[in-house]
Amino acid sequence: MAVDLLLGLQWGDEGKGKIVDVLTKKYNLISRFQGGPNAGHTLIFDGHKHVLHTIPSGIFHKEAINVVGNGVVIDPVIFNNEIEGLSKFDVDFKKVLLISRKAHLILPTHRLLDAASEKAKGKDKIGSTLKGIGPTYMDKTGRNGMRVGDLELDNWKEIFEKLTQKHLKMIEFYDVELDYDLDDLRTCFFNSVEKLKELTFIDSEEYLHQAIKADKKILAEGAQGSLLDVDFGTYPFVTSSNTTAAGACTGLGVAPNQIGEVYGIFKAYTTRVGSGPFPTELFDEDGATMAKVGHEFGATTGRPRRCGWLDMVALKYACQVNGVTQLNMMKADVLSGFDTLKVCTAYEYKGEVIKHFPYNIEPENVKPIYTELKGWQADLTEMTSKDQFPQELNDYVTFIEQETGIKISIVSVGPDRKQTILM
């Protein structure tokens, strides 16, 4: 069993980047397996803050190799900006950052198509990050996509142009106004591709197969969260990839019997950015406090995140779909100061009480049923061991462990690498 997984169990932004960074010292190789620059993974250490979008979160550890797997979609322009942003860190990118030839490329016109589709949907829009994710995965499954490996062909610009022309016709179909300069977009893309070609492209499934054979320790880093999974999330308000455990197998070419630990990561409350149902969402003072104390703004788009109580129905569902073996609870510090904490343990669904996550959780059909727990007042952010935890936090942890049947192995009490308590 050589590949462990770390996956978000809610609607993304659980703190995956932070925990991958913390865990990297135990691993030889960190690999992203799906999503693309819609992700924003924040790492904070030694007074520096970094937001990574496509580069795996092991990049700051000298000994680790970082692989961008076949299931990821790459925008060369954003990718280069990320690399440039890390220039002061003396990272030997050619050596430690390897890119799958089978990963698909996000073209400038994929981004335009994303914008056109959202504009045309009006008030029903998904709330996409507008990074071109949906249109790129559509071209992948529609068997029209352009892959990283194509950039090694002499005629890659012809492939680019053919796909671009197809997209321009599709944009016309949407009949919405978009402001863009295609020549500028093309030039910027071509320049970024030349930079991308300075990195190392690999046949990643073979590379990972050899790494497993050589007993290397591999951690697969998820993006987004289980409730944004294209199959199991709150469809259609989801992303366009499988964010759950099975996505790691297809997004890396690793067989299911090679998967070891599955770290499931969740916030002690719930957030969501973009549109879509959210049964425990708060519109009151409590929600505003979570947003303020938790600095709940999207790491990629800067949009405010919607906040609400922990949803145990959804959390248990995510644990089940992913086969979670250990839980990591993030942002416990944000809940300090509440007299009472609520956890949704069932839904009133179309007049019935249910404990499973149904086909649709549209707001008119779902009302959360809460269990109340006593809150804690102590500031957790300076704590360094679980012995310092207030009893009410221990009770909150125990409650979640009993509900899910899974141990919480990490409690995070602040954004910094150091504010991580091993249980």
CB of 43 to ligand IMO, least distance (A): 12
Q: Are strands 259-267 and 3-8 parallel, antiparallel or unpaired?
A: parallel
Q: How far apart are CA 71 and CA 103, in angstroms?
A: 6
Tokens of 327: 């839980």
Look up residue 17 and give its amino acid. G
Site string for Mg ion, 229-268 (x = CB under 5 A): ----------------------------------------
Which of 8, 253 has the CB closer to Mg ion? 8
Task: Give catalytic status of residue 41 as yes or no.
Answer: yes
Query: Which of ligand GDP, Mg ion, ligand IMO, none lies near 44, with the C-beta cut-off 5 to 8 A by kind?
Result: ligand GDP
CA 403 to chain centre: 24
Pick the binder of ligand IMO from 50, 104, 131, 342 (CB under 6 A).
131
Choosing from 41, 50, 53, 110, the catalytic residue is: 41
Pick the binder of ligand GDP from 113, 299, 318, 406 (CB under 6 A).
299
Contact 270, 280 (CB under 8 A): yes
CA 158 to chain centre: 33
Contact 306, 11 (CB under 8 A): no
Q: How far apart are CA 167 and CA 407, in angstroms?
A: 48
Query: Which of Mg ion, ligand GDP, ligand IMO, none lies near 334, with the C-beta cut-off 5 to 8 A by kind?
Result: ligand GDP
| DSSP secondary structure letters along 13-55 | -SSHHHHHHHHGGG-SEEEE-S--TT--EEEEETTEEEEESSS
Residues composing the chain: 423
Query: Which of Mg ion, ligand IMO, ligand GDP, none lies near 413, with the C-beta cut-off 5 to 8 A by kind?
Result: ligand GDP
Pick the binder of ligand IMO from 126, 248, 313, 341 (CB under 6 A).
126
Which of 253, 415 has the CB closer to ligand GDP? 415
Specify the stretch interacting with ligand GDP by CB under 6 A; choose among 39-47, 93-101, 193-201, 310-318. Answer: 39-47
The sign of the dihedral angle between the CA atoms of 401, 402, 403, 406 is positive
Pick the binder of ligand IMO from 273, 344, 400, 411 (CB under 6 A).
273
By the 10 Å C-beta count (0-12 exposed, 13-18 middle, 19+ buried), 293 is classed as: middle
Which of 24, 224 has the CB closer to ligand IMO? 224
Kindly list the catalytic residues.
Answer: 13, 41
Q: In the complex, which residues of this chain contact ligand IMO (CB under 6 A)?
A: 8, 11-13, 38-41, 126-129, 131, 133-134, 223-225, 228, 239, 273-274, 299
